[in-house]
Structure 1
Amino acid sequence: MENLVEKLKKAKESTYILSLLNTNEKNEALRAIANNIEKNIDKIIKENEKDIKRGEEKGLSKAILDRILLNEKRLKDIVKSIEDVIKLPDPVGEIVSMQKRPNGILVGQMRVPIGVIAIIYEARPNVTVDATILALKSGNAIVLRGSSDALNSNIILTNIMKEALSNTKIPQDAVQIIESPEHSVVEELLQMTDYIDVAIPRGSAKFIKHVMNISKVPVIETGAGNNHIYVEEDADFEMARKIIINAKVQRPSVCNAIEKLLVHKNIADEFLPVIVKDLREYNVEIRGCEKTLKIVKDAIPATEEDWYTEYLDYIIAIKVVDSIDEAIAHINKYNTKHSEAIITKDYHKALKFLRMVDAAAVYVNASTRFTDGGEFGLGAEIGISTQKLHARGPMGLKELTTTKYVIFGEGQIRE
């Protein structure tokens, strides 16, 4: 445990150096990281193959193995995302507001780093880089605790990044990795309020709830994605089919994929056979409500648990609803407040859906797969917040800062 405390102390101390760096100095460090990752792609893939092999031996699902996988294309995408972050404006030091008071003092708010961010995540080695890059650019130190299923990948990526920092102004101590697979280490980490300013968990709903329940450190809840698409009675069928297939099967293991499909009763007889045929071409298992089962005879009956479940797999549950109001009520009861979509030509129904659905991202006539820092123009994201404080939706650079009041005077005293 002393080793953990030592790492956290180093991370904390590095924040004072980070707070003084200018944008160019931080960008030069990020560029060094991007170059070193690109230079070591083969080495990273070799370590990643060890994780994949071990995962196959453990019997991990294809969906989870896909999350762990790092190939040349994915690593080049990671490098590209670093380059995108370099181009983004640096929020640190931005004066958010400034006013002159009657006594002549200037009172303003300045954007500053949060401090030390701990990110605890499952089977997604790309998060190791995304989180580090965003933390460093926004002036924060990062403590990484990834899943044991991707341990080799996480270690090699962290080592490559720290090596790249050796000739930059950012101290290597600003990036720390917790290698121990023991759950007790996570529990200890989450009690360290003297060193960690915020913890961000990424993973299943169960995992995130566990972190929130045991942590003394403030937690930003990131989203499991029990996401829905609702097809209104006036929807364009071809558009709906294209969006549903993209949102379900492009990458079913990610949190912005859909898990549920709601269809208006007036189009169910015509639309369900078509979309079910489309989904089954990708071997998607169909589960359904009683009304769905009357149309799709061989579907599996959906249980109450199904409506709450984030499958992260080639499974979808379908419900036929009587109205947009029933669809909204169903979504707000069962969703994880991540991403929700409606397919409709009706402006007023779209507006009603946007206003009434409780989620971080609400779509009209588009795939939920766009809920992503890169797609939203943030360069990358450290997570997708499903809470309403301190941030909501994909968290980029700005969301990794807070504000402090700055006051300028000329000798004023309070009378």
Structure 2
Amino acid sequence: MSSHEQADPSNWRVFHATGRAPESPPQLPPAPPWRRFRGGPPEPAPPDDPQAALRRLGPGDATAQLGREEIDIVNAALVLRRPLLITGPPGIGKSTLAYLLSRELGLGRVLEWNIVSRTTLRDGLYVHDAMGRAQAIAAWQAGVGNTPDPALGEAPRTVEGDSGDETAGDPPAEAAVNIATRSKDRQLPPVLGDFITLGPLGTALLPYDRPRVLLVDELDKSDIDLPNDLLHVLENGSYDVPELVRDAAEEARVHTSDPAGRAVVRGGRVECAEFPVVVITSNGEREFPAAFRRRCLPLEMRTPSREQLLAMVERHLGNRTPEAKSMVDGYLQRVQAGGTHSLDQLLNAVQMTTAGGFQADGDGRKLVEMLLRDLAKGR
């Protein structure tokens, strides 16, 4: 990819799989009319998380693991505002693509939604801490009982030695001053928004000026209903929080999935302004419904070549030693023999060769065999 092509504003490809952080974030192509949403007002730009990207991608430019065809599929998903459904063997780097996109396009912190068999759509959208709210209301009511407020119709307590001549509506001057002072210091009742936290999917659908990156990891592990439940949200880019819809307040300030993040929800409804960059990974444990697959762009990731693996090792560990080359060759032999292996295993084995006094061809052979074991065998 030439520098001229990368800088050409008329080029529909904004992602080139370099993993290089831009000096200024590139402008994304406009969304098609059927994928434009009207959420607002805009939320502040999300925080960045360079350490998470560093752990996933390593320092410097990323290794070119995607070919031209795969890069075009990613760019098509960006243009069409459709989720990417990435398949491939476990540990091949599917989830890493979300961090590659975030770093290269300058889209801030990646929102991760890790799927298990018990995960529901509501887990991804929001959580309402009903028990915590009930406890907070009980504590507040107890505090109110200990601090009478005439403005709320509460009669002041009778103090010891009081003749009883004073009426509830006409307290002594000193008592009136104390009641007024306490009323100013009274704790406000707990508000509903303090007990609602938007999940990764719910946060990604807030009205940001630029799309958030959402990683839906291992969707094939979910209950059979979750992909179908996702259809409405992925199509409409919006959802309701019923607890806030029923609340008397017009707006609520809720927590988000970002560290210390808060957002304002109006009328109990959240709608995006820019559909998020959704990266869905699957290890192929089961098929998804046709209606779900129709809304996604499929991308299959394959095992990297020897040169790509060597470049990956060099980027993460800073060297390309003869021991590293031997580890890469052994890793590829195991993969080609039909075993299930992850890139993490290779990096762990190469890292051990840098430990002082470790001999991979001597006493450390059994340890290397354990590190590069076939994951399909269950041990």
TM-score after normalising by structure 2: 0.23
Structure with max Cα Rg? 2
Higher helix share goes to which structure? 1
